[in-house]
Amino acid sequence: MASTPLYVLTLALVMGCARGAGGGDDTLDADTVDTSLDVTKPNDGAPGCGNTQTNPQNCGQCGNVCASGATCVAGKCDCGTGKTECNGACVDTQTDAKNCGSCGHLCTGGNSTWSCVAGVCTVGCSGGQTACNNVCVDTQTDDQNCGQCGNACGTKTCCTGQCKDTTTDNANCGTCGTTCNGSSTCINSSCSTCDGPPLGSCAHNECNTGAALSIGCDGLALCVAQVCANKPLCCVTGWTTSCVNEVISTCGYTCKGC
């Protein structure tokens, strides 16, 4: 095989260098350059991360993603004034009910509606209810908070904010609001027709045993006064069976249905 003359190779080399230096087809096209990486800054990070001093997707280093709503300042994630990063989001711990006062502090409990006020969990009750021990209650009907928080009725029932004995209360007989009308009296939670003396302001019907009664509590009937005139202890220690018998014998009542 014949060898290529030396002067031919030398000519080709000179022409190639001249073409590259002259800006022909081999020149670098600026449109093909990746400008996402600012190579003029020393802390830009690895190629493809952009400026790690300002890029919230690569803040400080590649792959360090700032929370939603945060910016990257000098290589550190910043949620801004009054905001804190909690579980990947910028929140205001003074008002956020899911992060109240600190990250992860959830305002919850009972059947209440909660809000975060100045970093403290606060119950917000509606419909006329009142917050008692962080629970919304109706103090008009709640037996443990009757009329006000902490006022427990015990064996009684809370009716319109007052503790009532529904076994004997003529205005709340058996249940709140059930009224015994006319000559009926509330006995054992039921309205019963009694042919005994009128109840008046007496603590209980004179035909029933119970606490001592006060003279005059039965109004113009004056049966209590007659009984206690014969049996003074009926108005001092208690209204016993002997007192009831005195109602029948002295006052003339049969005490049926009482």
Q: What is the pLDDT of residues 16-48, one digit of tens each?
A: 434 444 444 444 444 444 444 443 344 455 567
For the ranges 34-43, 76-85, 124-133, 197-206, which has the lowest average pLDDT? 34-43
Report the C-alpha gap between 217 and 186 in whole angstroms.
17
**Residue 48 located in a structural domain:** yes
Place of tokens 């990947």: 88
Judge contact between 36 and 48, C-beta under 8 A.
yes
The residue out of 59, 91, 123 marking a domain boundary is 91
Distance CA 231, CA 160 (A): 39
Domain assignment of residue 253, yes or no: yes
Looking at residue 68, the DSSP 8-state letter turns out to be: B
Q: Is residue 239 part of a domain?
A: yes
Residue 252 lies in a domain: yes
pLDDT-derived band at 257 (thresholds 50, 70, 90) equals: confident
Give the phi and the psi of residue 88 in degrees, each rounded to 5: 80, 15
Nearest to 187 by CA among 210, 162, 204: 204
pLDDT higher for 46 or 1? 46
- Would the pLDDT of 240 be above 80? yes
Nearest CA to 233 out of 249, 252, 213 is that of 213
| Residue 244 belongs to some domain of the structure | yes
Domain assignment of residue 233, yes or no: yes
pLDDT band at 87 (very low <50, low <70, confident <90, very high): confident
Q: What are phi and psi of 91, to 5 degrees?
A: -130, 160
Domain count, the chain: 2
Looking at 73, 91, 109, the residue that finishes a domain is 91
**Whole-number pLDDT of residue 24:** 45
Task: Give the residues across from 184 on adjacent strands.
Answer: 193
Domain that holds residue 205: 196-258
Query: What pLDDT was estimated at residue 173?
Result: 94
Rounded to whole angstroms, how far apart are CA atoms 193 and 183? 6
Q: Is the pTM of this model over 0.85?
A: no
| Secondary structure of 44-60 as H, E, C letters | CCCCCCCCCCCCCCCCC
Summarize the confidence of residues 67-92 as an average pLDDT.
Answer: 89
Choosing from 91, 120, 152, the residue where a domain stops is: 91
- Dihedral sign for Cα 239, 243, 245, 246, please: negative
How far apart are the C-alpha atoms of 186 and 204, rounded to whole Å? 9
Q: Mean pLDDT across the chain, nearest whole number?
A: 81
Quote the pLDDT of residue 22: 45
Query: Domain for residue 256, yes or no?
Result: yes
Q: Which runs of consecutive H residues, i.e. helices, occur in 82-192? A: none
Instruction: Report the relative pairing of strands 113-117 and 157-159 from DSSP bridges.
Output: unpaired
In terms of average pLDDT, the best of 5-14, 50-59, 122-131, 230-239 is: 230-239
pLDDT single digits (tens) 113-169: 788 889 988 887 877 888 888 788 899 999 999 999 999 999 999 999 999 999 889
**188 vs 75: which has the higher pLDDT:** 75
Do the beta carbons of residue 46 and residue 64 sit within 8 Å? Answer: no
119-123, 149-153, 178-182, 249-253: which is most confident: 149-153
Q: Residue 71: which H helix or E strand, with range?
A: strand 71-73
Percent of the chain with pLDDT over 90: 45
pLDDT, tens digit, 9 for 90 and up, residues 92-115: 999 998 999 999 999 887 666 788
Confidence check: pLDDT of 170 > 80: yes
Helix (H, G, I), strand (E, B) or coil at 223: helix
**Residue 217 forms part of a structural domain:** yes
Cα 37 to Cα 225: distance, rounded to the nearest angstrom: 107
Averaged over 48-73, what is the pLDDT? 89
pLDDT at 5: 47
Beta bridge partners of 72: 77
Residue 245: both structure tokens together: 């018998």
